[in-house]
Amino acid sequence: NAGVTQTPKFQVLKTGQSMTLQCAQDMNHEYMSWYRQDPGMGLRLIHYSVGAGITDQGEVPNGYNVSRSTTEDFPLRLLSAAPSQTSVYFCASRVGRGLTHSGANVLTFGAGSRLTVL
Amino acid sequence: GENVEQHPSTLSVQEGDSAVIKCTYSDSASNYFPWYKQELGKGPQLIIDIRSNVGEKKDQRIAVTLNKTAKHFSLHITETQPEDSAVYFCAASKGFKTIFGAGTRLFVKA
C-alpha cells in the first residue's frame, strides 16, 4: 500500500499566488487532516474531515480552504499565498470511526510538502 | 481549546543512558495520548500511545506514563541508541482533534 501520498514535495510561490497541495490515501480512512509544521511550534492542525462532504476547522484555518469530494482525496488550497504560510505541510489520515478500538486513533502521515512563499 | 506543552525542546544523552520527555495538557476531556517520532525528511510515525484509563504502558525500551489528575504524561526511553536520535512529539486527542506539543529534538551521542 502507498499509504498517504502528498504532492508536490517542494513548491515556491510568490505572494498572492494560489496553489493546491494534494493528499491521497489508499487505506479507506474516513478521517483526513492537514497540519503545518514550523520550527519551535510543532504540528498545528489546519483543517480536518471526517468523511466525504464533511470538513471542519482546526487550530489555524485562516488562509486555507479544503474540500472532501471523495474518501481518498483531501486537497488543501491557498487562495492568496502569504510569506507567513511558508512551512512544511503534512497530511494525515486515520480510521475515523470506532474510536475506542485499538489502532483507530493512530494517524498515518504523508512525507510532507515544503512550501516557500516569497 | 486544547493546549499541549512539551519539555525539553532539546535533549542530548550518551548512548545507553535514559531519556525522559514531559508533556502537560490543558483539556481534562482529552482521552488519548500518542507519541510520534519524526526522522529527518519524513512524516511523524507513532511509537507508543496511552488511553486515559491506563496509567502506564511499556513497549520494549519505550514507556509512557499518564497522570490524569495533574494532566501530565511522559515518555521514557531506556538504553538509548544512536538510531533513537530524532524529533519526538507528544499529543493529546479528544474526538476528532489531535493537538501536538512543540517537539523535542533528541540527540544520542555514541
Please report the pLDDT score of residue A40 as a whole number: 84
A58-90 pLDDT, tens per residue? 999 999 999 999 999 999 999 999 999 999 999
Provide, rounded to the nearest whole percent, the portion of chain A with pLDDT above 90.
85
* Chain segment B75-105, per-residue pLDDT in tens: 999 999 999 999 999 999 988 889 999 999 9
* Mean per-residue pLDDT, A92-98: 78
Residues 6 or more apart whose Cβ sits within 8 Å of residue B32: A99, A105, B49, B50, B51, B52, B92, B93, B94, B98
Largest CA distance in chain B: 41
Kindly tell me if the per-residue pLDDT of A101 is higher than 60. Answer: no
Average pLDDT, chain B: 95
Contacts of B56 (CB under 8 A, 6+ apart): B50, B63, B64, B65, B66
A99 touches B: beta carbon within 8 Å:
yes
- A32 min Cα distance to partner chain B (Å): 10
Give the per-residue pLDDT at A100: 55
How confident is residue B2, by pLDDT bands cut at 50, 70 and 90?
A: confident
Contact A111 B46 (CB under 8 A): no
CB-based contact B45 A58, cutoff 8 Å? no
Nearest to B43 among A56, A90, A106 (CB): A90
pLDDT at residue A108 above 70?
Answer: yes
CB contact burial B68-97 (16+ within 10 A = b; e otherwise): beebebbbbbeebeeebbbbbbbbbbbebb
Q: What is the pLDDT of residues B33-77, one digit of tens each?
A: 999 999 999 999 999 999 988 889 999 999 999 999 999 999 999
Q: Is the predicted pLDDT of residue A97 greater than 70, yes or no?
A: no
Mean pLDDT on A49-65 = 94
Q: Is the pLDDT of residue A103 over 70?
A: no
pLDDT > 60? residue A110:
yes
| Residue B29: pLDDT over 80 | yes
Q: What angle do CA A43, A84, A106 make, to 5 degrees?
A: 15
A95: confidence class by pLDDT, cuts 50, 70, 90:
confident
Say whether A105 and B32 touch across the interface (CB within 8 A).
yes
* CA-wise closest residue to B89 among B54, B43, B58, B52: B43
Q: Residue B102 and residue A92: Cβ atoms within 8 Å?
A: no
Residue in the block written with cell 490524569: B68
Q: What is the chain B residue with the closest CA to A9?
A: B41
Residue A98 has pLDDT above 70, yes or no: no
Phi/psi at A71 (5° precision): -65, -35
